[in-house]
Structure 1
Amino acid sequence: MSDTPSHGPVKSIMPKWVRGPQDFVGGVALIAIALFALWASSDLQGMRGFSFGAGTAPRMFAYLLLGLGVAVMVVGLLTEGTHLAKYHWRGPLFVSLAILSFALMIRPMGLIVTAFSSFLIAALGTPETKWTETIIVAVCLTAFCSLLFPYALGLPLQMLPKFMIR
């Protein structure tokens, strides 16, 4: 008997002509994002001939992303690559929840409470979180944001929750 683990054939849902499944799927995802960006920026003016406007930069970057996506997809078709890796949902889920909570809490709760709680929600995205360090960083970032946005940038942001302000 051998002490090394056996590496049997890997089952794949991809067709045989896809030699690098991870690159191929990544390229398709980049193409999908680029097509969405092109669609979303289609009603913005600019980038028609020599006319520059609000749609110039989004469409320019979308075309670059589209080209990059096609290149990555072609690499997945032509070269041997890794199989699809297991998807870890925890990080994207908690970062998305942190963004959503920030959007919903900023007006009623103010910048200080919202920034601190959003940072803590995002920290739940990894099991490696050390809470003492996370709270220290959250306090420092909240203090920095509390000085940056209303004072350095002059944005009219409410700092404290509405129930604490007369």
Structure 2
Amino acid sequence: MSDTPSHAPVNSILPKWIRGPQDFIGGLALVAIAVFALWASSDLQGMRGFSFGAGTAPRMFAFLLLGLGIAVMLVGIVTEGAHLAKYHWRGPLFVSLAILSFAFLIRPMGLIVTAFSSFLISALGTPETKWTETIIVAVCLTAFCSLLFPYALGLPLQMLPKFMIR
């Protein structure tokens, strides 16, 4: 089986004036993220004279992202580009689950258990995972995080689960 895309006509729900559907939809996603960031930072204090407020940087980056998104959308309109590819949900799903598990487990389970388990959950995002290598890398990254955060950066993180601490 070949990995090259076929040149057969593609049925699309997008209008004909969109020549690069993948670029257009990608730019639209960037615009949506920028609009959300602008809305989320709307109640933060902005810039007053030469002093920055809490909302200055988020709004600045949101406007840059908005401009970039519009530019990518225009590229999708002006130039011929790739059609929409099939969306693979497995990677984003398991990476999101790993982030959520880290957020919920860090306090009750400590850094060591949480970092190791989050790494293993994110490794489920691809069918190409080699588990022996993944466990070795997870142990190394967990050891690195266990030294970096509490000792090198001085962050007061609990290392072990609460039930193991007296």
Aligned to 1:154: 154
1:99 aligns with 2:99: yes
| Counterpart AA for 1:17 | W
1:70 aligns with 2:76: no
State the SS of the aligned residue for 1:36.
helix
Gaps of 5+ in 1: none
> Is the alpha carbon distance of 1:89 and 1:107 closer, same or farther for their aligned partners in structure 2, counting shifts above 3 Å?
same
Q: Find the aligned partners of 2:129 and 2:52 in 1 and give their Cα distance.
A: 45
1:126 aligns with 2:126: yes
Q: CA RMSD in A?
A: 1.5
| Counterpart AA for 1:119 | F
Gaps of 5+ in 2: none
| Counterpart AA for 1:146 | S
> Is the alpha carbon distance of 1:98 and 1:158 closer, same or farther for their aligned partners in structure 2, counting shifts above 3 Å?
same
Aligned positions, number:
162
Aligned to 1:12: 12
1:138-149, aligned counterparts within 5 Å?
A: 138-149=138-149
Q: Find the aligned partners of 2:140 and 2:30 in 1 and give their Cα distance.
A: 35
Query: Cα offset for 1:84?
Result: 0.4
Query: Cα offset for 1:159?
Result: 0.5
**TM-score (structure 2 length as normaliser):** 0.93
Aligned to 2:61: 61
Q: Find the aligned partners of 2:6 and 2:85 in 1 and give their Cα distance.
A: 19
- Measured against aligned partners, the alpha-carbon deviations of 1:118-140 in whole angstroms (never above 9, x if no partner) come to 00000000111111111011001
Q: Find the aligned partners of 1:23 and 1:78 in 2 and give their Cα distance.
A: 10
Q: Find the aligned partners of 2:122 and 2:7 in 1 and give their Cα distance.
A: 37
> Is the alpha carbon distance of 1:48 and 1:87 closer, same or farther for their aligned partners in structure 2, counting shifts above 3 Å?
farther
1:117 aligns with 2:117: yes
State the SS of the aligned residue for 1:129.
coil
Q: Find the aligned partners of 1:17 and 1:6 in 2 and give their Cα distance.
A: 22
> Is the alpha carbon distance of 1:82 and 1:49 closer, same or farther for their aligned partners in structure 2, counting shifts above 3 Å?
farther
Q: Find the aligned partners of 1:146 and 1:40 in 2 and give their Cα distance.
A: 33
| Counterpart AA for 1:34 | A
Q: Find the aligned partners of 1:51 and 1:44 in 2 and give their Cα distance.
A: 14
Aligned to 1:41: 41
> Is the alpha carbon distance of 1:100 and 1:66 closer, same or farther for their aligned partners in structure 2, counting shifts above 3 Å?
same
**TM-score (structure 1 length as normaliser):** 0.93
